[in-house]
Amino acid sequence: MKVLANDGISKTGELALKEAGYEVLPNRVAQDHVINFINENNVDILLVRSATKVRQDMIDACPSLKIIGRGGIGMDNIDVDYAKSKGIKVINTPNASSKSVAELVFGHFFALARFLHESNRLMPLEGETHFDAMKKSFSKAYELSGKTLGVIGFGSIGQEVVKMGIALGMKIKVLTKTPKTKVLTLDFFDGQTLNFEITSTNDMDAFLKDTDFISINTPKTNEYIIDTPQFEKMKDGVYIVNTARGGVINEVTLIDFIESEKVAGAALDVFENEPKPELPLLMNPALSLSPHVGGNTIDAQEKIGAELAEQIIKLQKETIR
């Protein structure tokens, strides 16, 4: 069977597929030419990340496709239900990149709470002439320990964010559409574990009240989760990080509430207008920004490739039975 990993695959995943007898094509094909390439090469399995879009027209035009795999969690770039209706298996890797995304959340939280994003920008420009002034300005910082962490979404990434917050000594709130109770296990280097039972709420007002740090970890939504009514109910001086999807938070309104100082700082790894974020976002000193790299670590990519390969091989074995 032929595999086109159009947005790339780790060496671990590629090797596992080859050892199982799959032919992994090395090509990276432009979106407009993917359909022709699949048909000309009789591709059975298409693997993508976020760059390649797999819509109804491609699914209809490529009868050889048997599996579509998404390296990552969100599958908004794939018409999943339609593919399944055509008998195509659709898989993703819900666990492989969760830790990497969660660590980026806290990277941004630390940057915001300690002004690291601003300090890194200004020190090369003014460190020699305004060192004392910057030292005074950046001293109005906060610890995360003892603060309240609010996590929107309780999937694999949200759970990792919660566990990291617990490890830092933060108080925890979780918001979901319906209340859920989950037992989370913290694993330590020496083999010890600790279990924590966390119950989420679906009460947005209660969730926002007194929350110091908010992390958004949901799938793509058709409407804003955070807009003017939600900002107005937040604690003064709140910090917000969005590593979910562009469009879950109103970016224009976010700027307004930053300028009013209701929001002390925010971080965005995803944007409503990718790959060209709006200039007011890029230029705002209260924002810590990254270019949609939540799952882009060497560790996560290796795990993503391995998880995709494992699922593909398992699916083939089940089909043979």
Omega before residue 229 within 30° of 0, cis: no
Which sign, positive or negative, has the C-alpha torsion 236, 242, 246, 247?
A: negative
Query: Is 49 an annotated catalytic residue?
Result: no
Say which residues have a Cβ less than 8 Å from residue 277's Cβ, sequence separation at least 6: 268, 271, 289
Longest CA–CA span in the chain (Å) reads 73
Distances (CA, A) of 279 to 261, 271, 284: 20, 12, 9
DSSP 102: H
CA-CA-CA-CA dihedral for 188, 212, 155, 258, to nearest 10:
-130
| Residue of 19, 126, 261, 274 marked active site | 274
Which sign, positive or negative, has the C-alpha torsion 68, 71, 73, 75?
A: negative
Query: Is 108 an annotated catalytic residue?
Result: no
Helix, strand or coil, per DSSP, at residue 63: coil
Helix, strand or coil, per DSSP, at residue 234: coil
**H helix and E strand count, the chain:** 13, 13
DSSP 235: P
Tokens 């990276």 label which residue?
Answer: 28
Other CB atoms within a 10 A radius of the CB of residue 137 amount to 14
Say which residues have a Cβ less than 8 Å from residue 89's Cβ, sequence separation at least 6: 66, 67, 68, 315
Structure tokens belonging to residue 143: 């610890």
| Residue of 130, 292, 302, 310 marked active site | 292
Query: Is 33 an annotated catalytic residue?
Result: no
| Residue of 108, 117, 245, 251 marked active site | 245
Name the residues annotated as catalytic: 245, 274, 292
